[in-house]
Amino acid sequence: MTDTEVRFPYQDAALDIEQRVEDLLGRMDAADKAGMLFHTMVGIGDPSEGNPTFGLPSAHSMIRKRRMNHFNLLGSAPSGREFAAWSNALQRFAREDGLGIPITFSTDPRHAFSDNPLTSMFAGPFSQWPETLGFAALASPERLERFGDIARQEYLAVGLRVALHPQIDLATEPRWSRINGTFGESADLTSELVVGYIRGFMGSELGPESVSTMVKHFPGGGPQLDGEDPHFEWGKEQVYPGGEQEYHLRPFIAAIGAGATQMMPYYGKPVGTDWEEVGFGFNKDVLTTLLRDRLGFDGIVCTDWGLLTDADILGTPMPARAWGVEHLTRPERMVKALDAGIDQFGGELCTDVLLDLLASGAVAEDRLDVSVRRLLREKFRLGLFDDPFVDEEHAEAVVGRADFVQEGLDAQSDSLTLLTNADAILPLTRGVKVYAEGVASDVLAGYATVVETPAEADVAILRIKAPFEDRDRGGFSAMFHSGSLEFPAEEHARLTAIAEAVPTVIDIYLDRPAVLGGLEESARAVLADYGASDEAVLRVLFGERGPQGSLPFDLPRSDAAVVASRSDVAFDTEDPTFRFGHGLRY
């Protein structure tokens, strides 16, 4: 064990992990155990200062006062070296106190090229790749495993040991705002891809060179009523009008078979099923009877963030996502979640509430021990007790390595999906006069002559985004793209007018399906992307690299077709404009 002598059996790397777990468990007091069960955010910055934006105390106080040692990192550092130095400093602080339990640092996705900070942390110094829908478009478990291995190397270099992903919900409700984190609509494809994903991050088995994956959102968060999202009270209902619960379970069964060791249930509460109508984090039918007993999962179950405590986020009150148990007090919610089978409370700080429940006898210490064993076992398997530190020079060399960046750029380009290509307008000829929207002029200038109006152009390139309704009700609700999939009439008319004035190529970012409404006929070519830079798109438009993607979901014909479909049934909209798997080549 680096820079620490072996004084107790749990510090001895030569012993069996189970021996080490039991030795350490016997040395932990109630506060140590309670702290293990909380997994919340911490910002990269001065660890002695709190984060007022998210109402968080300092990292130092969470470690010392609350005995916490699982943290989801917010933000990024400018370089791999600085990221690693920050991680090392906090690990040293943790090691110097009490039993010296190391920190497990986790993260939401960081590698996607995306401008939505809610669904994907900005890549910062890391290599940039398409979002998961792009990998679904490529439909290659091997290529996804390669991405997972590169992401693992970059995570590992800076001390990130748990990926709060993959998200393997199925996109059967086209309006749902979190489709961009999924692998699309097909249970078969998602089941194949999740195996490659987990292998890339974990390897053949969990060990000191692994990044653990927290698979989400059990038992599948796709079939939300009207496509709304259960982060919010107005989207709390999850429905199965087609009775397709088993379809949504299939990717999770594949993930368990691939060795996934962590699982996150979603916020929604099932309505109209045999399950109790309470949020999945409180749902014993789902977490114990289904996940643990039927599917045999014995890993860590961590709730999604903020099930217990009301909060204020970005200046807006945010009630706890305690759907179906809103009437319970915070201690009662905690008891219900523990009884349901959870091991950790995501995004929560209330260790005092758990300690009070222990003191009163409402929660038995033996119950805590069940979860603490799982959490300790994972830390030991990851090698954190033997060496939690990272090499800062190595981090500088690995994070954002040139060949990783190039592979990410190639994947962005390859994932592009060519929907139409009338008269073989693509690929374009270099030097052609282009009127562009949504493309950086300095990047485009490397390929074409940039002009200011459609009248001057030989061709127009329009980079647009899938439409959505403005649902800004404060907090971070504006970051959820919900509602209609159709373009507003004025915008549709504007795009059509450009296409009628000059041959037009449309590239549309699909963070969920879009109703094209005839744009596929007005434009000479339509291309779909799933998180791709201007450079990645232009390489394809000008023939440096051919599109290899296929649609990971159907593109519905209309909003009316979506409303008439069943939210849990795949490929259920009538007469879609383009089918799953469609994609042209040149």
Short-list 117, 149, 278, 126, CA closest to 213 = 149
* 269-271 and 311-313 strand pairing: unpaired
d(CA 486, CA 466): 8
DSSP 129-152: B--HHHHHHHT-HHHHHHHHHHHH
523 contact partners, CB below 8 Å, separation of at least 6 = 420, 462, 495, 499, 504, 505, 506
Residues 6+ apart with CB under 8 A from 21: 10, 373, 376, 377, 380
- Helix then strand count (H, E) for the chain reads 19, 18
In Å, how far are 232, 281, 321, 562 from 228, measured between CA atoms?
8, 19, 14, 13
Question: DSSP assignment, residue 429?
Answer: P
Count CB neighbours of 449 within 10 A.
Answer: 14
State the Cα–Cα distance between residues 72 and 164, nearest whole angstrom: 8
The candidate with the shortest Cα–Cα distance to 158, out of 375, 400, 385, is 400
Q: What is the C-alpha end-to-end distance of the chain, expressed in Å?
A: 56
> Minimal CA–CA distance to 482: which of 174, 84, 209?
174
Nearest to 486 by CA among 556, 541, 400, 568: 556
Give me the amino acid identity at 176. Answer: W
Rounded Cα distance between 140 and 145, Å, is 9
> How many other CB atoms are found less than 10 A from the CB of residue 145?
18
Quick one: which H or E segment has residue 42? strand 38-43
Length of the chain: 586
Pairwise CA distance, residues 412 & 130, whole Å? 5
**DSSP calls for 379-426:** HHHTTTTT-----HHHHHHHTT-HHHHHHHHHHHHHH-EEEEEGGG-P
Tokens read off for 89: 């400093």
Closest CA to 343 of 573, 91, 37: 37
Task: Mark whether 285 is an active-site residue.
Answer: no
Q: Closest by alpha carbon to 237, among 320, 142, 334, 321?
A: 321
CA 160 to chain centre: 15
Contact 444, 436 (CB under 8 A): yes
Calpha distance 348→304 (Å, rounded): 10
| Tokens linked to 458 | 């030989």
Question: Of 229, 304, 511, 554, which one is the catalytic site residue?
Answer: 304
Catalytic residue annotation: 304
